[in-house]
Each structure stands twice: as C-alpha cells, then as structure tokens.
Structure 1
C-alpha cells in the first residue's frame, strides 16, 4: 500500500517497498484548471500549462554532479532517464516520468532532488490534481505519493529528495514552494534542503 506523504516526512524506500529497490519511477501529474466562461459555455476549456519535472544529482559537498530535465533527457552515466516533456498536462496518469536505476547511480552521488516548475510561468493556483509519486518499476507498485500544493502564487516546487543514508535509499518529501521557470532558478532552495 502506498504512503501518502506529508511535507517534511522521511521514509525508507526499502521498508516501504518490502525489499530492495533497484529501479524507481518518479511520476509527475497535473491538470490545468478550466478557464471560467459565461455559464461554462464560452471560454471554459482548459488552458495549457507546461510543468516540467527535473532531477538534480548532488554529491556530499552540495555540488551538482549532473542534471536530467527536458533539455537533457538522460544523465551522462545513464542511471537516470526522463521520458519526455508534456506541455499541457492533458491525459490520465503521470504526465512526465523520471526513471532512476538506483543500482547504477554513482557512489559519489548522495542525493537526487526532484523539482517541478511552470515553464510557461503560470502559478500553481491555476493547476489542480498535481502530485508526484514514486513507483517500484519492477512491480508497478506505488511506494509513496506526495500531493503538491495547488494554491498560491509559486511557480515551482522542490518536491522531494531521494538520498543515501546508512547504506540504503530514503525519501524526504520536501514540498518547498519556490519561483522559477527551470531547475537552475531553484538551486538555492534545493541546496538549503540537502
């Protein structure tokens, strides 16, 4: 059974998955709120909102080792892959996914920080049903889910961190609101949560 995480909560991925995880998927999903129209007849369609999921790989000193985002769909070492950019949020299920082979992440990498940002600049008050979730790729079982705040004027959020601790991988639901159109704009917030 999946755990619904709250801001600041930390979990052991192996304990929650019931065994060692090797490949996980960080999924991001969202829907654009419908535009208001006269009695819902005119201008009531959904707007297009381009949220982007990114993963930044950090070493123990807080330096960036590599990044995976819509302009670089795979880490240089091949351990992390982005499945591609969804520019509207349309459709069911995850709109963007980042697949991580934990067994291939270099030992120098101590934390993987996952962020989401509105590339088109709309704030999260215009988004609904937004979430990130971690799935065991081998079984398809959802390990953890974090519902993203869909209110406020922020245009980005540092969603979560998957990190090494005591020889195992853990997850920290950060949920820190921020502003920015790409992961680079969020680096100060990410580093503050390492």
Structure 2
C-alpha cells in the first residue's frame, strides 16, 4: 500500500517497501488544465494550447551540497550510469507517468549524498495551467508504488522542487519538498534547490 506524502514529510524507503531497495523509478506526471473555450473563439482558433512541456530532472549532490551530476532531457544518463531518464514528454498527454527517471541505488556513487527531483515548465506556462502534478517512487523489482507526493498548490511559479532522496545512517530516505520555483531550465532552478538541501 503506497503512502501519500504530505509536504515536508520524510519516510524510509526500505521500511515502506518491506526490505532493501536496489532499483527504483521516480515517475512524474501532470496534465494541462482544461480551459473552457467559448464557441466563437473555438471557431476562430482563439483557445489556449493544451500542451505543456514540463521537464523532469534529477540533480546529484555531495555532502558539501555541490552538484555532482545532472540528469535531464539534454543528458539522459548520469556519467556513472546509475541514473537513467527515459526521455522527454513535451505535452503531458496520456495517463500514468509522463516522464520517468530510473535509479539503481546500489550504483549511486558513495560521494553522492542526495538526489533532488524537480519539474520545470520549459514551455513557460505557470503551474496555474497545470493539473494533477505528482511524483511517485516505484520498486523496480515488482512495479509496486511505494510512495506518492501530489502537488496541491497551483500558482504563478514555473518550476517545482518535488522531492529528495538522501542517505541517512546507511539507508535511503525520501523527503517530499514541494517548494515552488522559477525558471524554464534546471540550471535556473539550481540556486533555489540548494536552499532546501
């Protein structure tokens, strides 16, 4: 049974999954908010586009909070091979996860203390135009969902610092951060992430 996390909540992944986890998937999903279009505007093409290009990223930090590596649509695999982004979804259309980042926890280098997962609006729309944004952790061995964090806040921000996986006393924990940010790219969001490490 997956846990629905609240903003700021922290959990142990091994306790929630019932054992040591080695391979996980961070799934991120969202929908474009349905905007009613008047019949007249619809006839003359005046409605809003329902495609929103959100980009999921994962930033690796060491214990000095220095960036070790960044996985995003421009670099789909970490240099050490432990983290793989499955590819860019440019619309948010369809059911289920829109983007996934696979993590082999056993292969994450020892100098990496935390993995921060974010979402940026590359197309520039604000989260006022986004519905049902979430991130979830899945156990790759059995495809079971361990934990889910659903965003409850919409607003004029263009990015979200979703969650952090971090090492603590020899185990991996998850912290639902849920902080608003600004920036169309992960580079623009980095200074805001460091505040929450």
Under a length normalisation based on structure 1, what TM-score does the superposition of the two structures give?
Answer: 0.96
Matched, 1:182 2:182: no
Partner residue in 1 for 2:147: 144
Matched, 1:155 2:158: yes
Q: Aligned partners of 2:59, 2:195: CA distance in 1, in Å?
A: 14
Q: Structure 2 vs 1, CA of residues 45 and 181 (structure 1 numbering), >3 Å: closer, same or farther?
A: closer
Query: In the TM superposition, what whole-angstrom CA distance separates every residue of 1:44-82 from its partner, at most 9, and x where no partner exists?
Result: 675110000000000000111111000000000000000
Query: In the TM superposition, what whole-angstrom CA distance separates every residue of 1:108-159 from its partner, at most 9, and x where no partner exists?
Result: 0000000101001100010111111111111111011011235110110100
Q: Measure how far apart 1:187 and its partner are.
A: 1.2
Q: Aligned partners of 1:84, 1:179: CA distance in 2, in Å?
A: 22
Q: Aligned partners of 1:68, 1:173: CA distance in 2, in Å?
A: 19
1:187 is paired with a residue of what secondary structure? helix
Q: CA RMSD in A?
A: 1.5
Under a length normalisation based on structure 2, what TM-score does the superposition of the two structures give?
Answer: 0.94
Partner residue in 1 for 2:2: 2
* 1:60-139 mapped onto 2 (5 Å cutoff): 60-139=63-142
Partner residue in 2 for 1:58: 61
Number of paired residues?
A: 194
Q: Aligned partners of 2:132, 2:177: CA distance in 1, in Å?
A: 18
Q: Measure how far apart 1:102 and its partner are.
A: 0.1
Q: Aligned partners of 1:145, 1:16: CA distance in 2, in Å?
A: 12
Q: Which stretches of structure 1, 4 residues or longer, exceed 3 Å deviation after superposition?
A: 43-46
Structure 1: which 5+ residue stretches go unaligned? Answer: none
Structure 2: which 5+ residue stretches go unaligned? Answer: none
Judge conservation of contact 1:25–1:99 (CA < 8 Å) in 2: yes
Q: Aligned partners of 1:185, 1:149: CA distance in 2, in Å?
A: 23
Q: Measure how far apart 1:35 and its partner are.
A: 2.9
